[in-house]
Amino acid sequence: MEENKEEIQKLNTSKDIVNYVKEKTSNSQDMVYRTVQILDSTIYVIYNEAMTATALISDFVIRSIKSINYEDVKSEALDNIQNNLDTYIDDSLNVDNTRIMKRQRVYDNLNKKNKNLKLTIEDIVDKLEENIDISKVKKLDLSQDDMFYYLFSGFACIVYNKEIIAVETKANLDRAISTPTTENNIKGPKDSFTENYQSNVGLIRKRIKSEKLVLEENKIGRKSKTKVGLMYVSDIARQELVEHIRKKLKKIDIDGILDSNYIMEILEDANKTEFPTIISTERPDLVSIYLLQGRIALIIENSPFVLVLPAFVDDFINNVEDNFQKSIDVTITRIVRYIAFFITIFTPALYISLITFNQEAIPTELLLSFVTQRKGVPFPAFFEAMLMILSFEILREGDYRVPNVAGSTISIVGALILGDAAVNAGIVSPIMIIVIAITTISGLMFADINMANSLRIWRLLLLIFAGLGGLIGTAVGTLMLIIKISSSTSFTKPFTYPISPINFSSIKKYILKRENVANDEKRRKILTDNLTKYKVKE
């Protein structure tokens, strides 16, 4: 708006405003300009054909404007003059006849002046609100409000007498609320976020009906002007964390925000780690749980994924499903997940270390079995492992890209037929197929794609260290992994909490065993000063 202020100041008539819109939109073909005549008054209606419901404009907006009775407006204005005539009369006049005569003269003069009485923008607003059940009618100030933001957000702009009112006439361009597609669940709510900003806010509000749930809106993107909502529970979330995120959002200067990943990438640049420090989810129940813990949610317009921050490493290993299962079952499942975490990172590196450099560490019978299986394989174990990992990654990408109908076919052909053919042809050994298969399957336990990609990066790095130095190289790579993950932060909070800095009560509660709902009275101190979830009634 700053660069257009001088142009805006030169707009003296409604026609000037219409021409200004035409010039700025380069006479775009999806912009519609309609005029409505009421006696000697011309009213302009401007809207974008793609973003608005044209039937709503024709059947309600235009019809409401045409139904304004010009004579009624004039008569009402003159009645107001009659009722307030005393304001034009000098109170010092005490003679009744003189006062009556002066009232008549003033009335006649005002009546003559108002024979060509014009409609006011308020008359149009009153008629619209009388005839249309529309949630948003806003009077715009061109020097303060961005008219184009409203036009391309589905509003119709009514221009009259140099004044503008925006009426919400949005077309329904959004899909209905459906089940999650990337975060399947057995128990718990089945609804998921959509591309509609208001619907996403409503799905959270539906679960947290508190006046303490605060929503702050920002428009980010020079061209896209994307609405980004900052949501938190004011009496739980730390205000210094809210202010930290608020400042980061205000610093973003980019042409357009087309998806939540744009915001995630910009905010994560400062963390300098391969591991994700922001949770991206399409489940409103999960976002609600995190908000009640003291975290912050970012709702991005046109994106079905909501961002939650800060995030800790255990958030990507644990699952929201844990809240809907028995505590003992959750304990067993979490132990399996942590075992899978180490398997998917270390198994290929350990196998290469043992089979290539440190064969003395393998029991004799097992070593003989490995030697027998590798007999006739022309490639070193390291190259063999890299070849199989590459093949599995190609299969995985193929599953993501092709239609669902063809995805299962690719998996069967790739994993079974090609794998069996490769073994029979002597290109790879059966044990290598098993090692890479269990590594890949263990990685599937982590649904977050960013976490899966981080594990893939470190799996390859450790494999390279193992190929260079055996168990010693693997140990060096492991030490680098520990240093990297321990030094990572998520918006000023340690990424490895509660393992480092260590907190035994949180380890027991969030890693080893899910606290029973009836006993889970405390929140994480690292996220909030409001530690008490509830107090048991005596």
pLDDT tens digit string along 438-473? 998 888 888 788 888 899 899 999 999 999 999 999
What confidence tens digit (pLDDT) does each residue in 283-325 have?
Answer: 999 999 999 999 999 999 999 999 999 999 888 888 777 777 7
**% of residues, the chain, pLDDT over 90:** 29
Residue 170 contacts by C-beta under 8 Å, 6 or more apart in sequence? Answer: 51, 52, 53, 153, 154, 155
95: confidence class by pLDDT, cuts 50, 70, 90: very low
Q: Is the pLDDT assigned to residue 437 strictly greater than 70?
A: yes
**Do residues 170 and 28 touch, judged by C-beta distance below 8 A?**
no
* Average of per-residue pLDDT across 248-276: 86
pLDDT, residue 46, reads 94
pLDDT, residue 513, reads 64
Element (H, E) at 233: strand 226-233
Q: Is the pLDDT assigned to residue 174 strictly greater than 70?
A: yes
* Average of per-residue pLDDT across 219-237: 93
Q: Is the pLDDT assigned to residue 533 strictly greater than 90?
A: no
What confidence tens digit (pLDDT) does each residue in 474-516 have?
Answer: 999 999 999 988 888 888 888 888 887 777 777 777 666 666 6
pLDDT, residue 81, reads 53
CA distances 508 to 505, 514, 515, Å, are: 5, 8, 8
Q: Is the pLDDT assigned to residue 227 strictly greater than 90?
A: yes
Q: Is the pLDDT assigned to residue 94 strictly greater than 50?
A: no
The full set of domain ranges for the chain reads 2-68+119-168, 197-311, 323-494
Total length of the chain = 538
CA distance 106 to 103: 5
Q: State the Cα angle at 239 between 317 and 213, rounded to 5°.
A: 75
Strand 279-281 with 163-168, pairing: unpaired
Q: Is 494 helix (H, G, I), strand (E, B) or coil?
A: strand
As beta bridge partners, residue 46 has 33, 157
DSSP annotation of 512: I
Higher pLDDT, 62 or 282: 282
pLDDT, residue 257, reads 92
Question: Where is average pLDDT lowest: 20-24, 123-127, 529-533?
Answer: 123-127
As beta bridge partners, residue 13 has none
* Average of per-residue pLDDT across 45-51: 92
What confidence tens digit (pLDDT) does each residue in 176-209 have?
Answer: 888 888 887 777 788 899 999 999 999 999 999 9
pLDDT, residue 92, reads 45
CA distance 326 to 332: 10
DSSP annotation of 52: B
Residue 525 has phi, psi (to 5 degrees) of: -65, -30
Closest to 466 measured CA to CA, from 358, 327, 371, 367: 358
**Chain mean pLDDT for the chain:** 81
- Residue 297's CB: how many other CB atoms inside 10 A? 26
Q: Which residue has the tokens 């249309």?
A: 132
- The pTM is what? 0.82
As beta bridge partners, residue 230 has 216, 298
| Residue 225 half-sphere exposure toward CB, CA atoms < 13 A | 11
DSSP annotation of 271: G
pLDDT, residue 430, reads 85
- Residue 428's CB: how many other CB atoms inside 10 A? 22
pLDDT, residue 371, reads 83
Tokens of 47: 């809207």
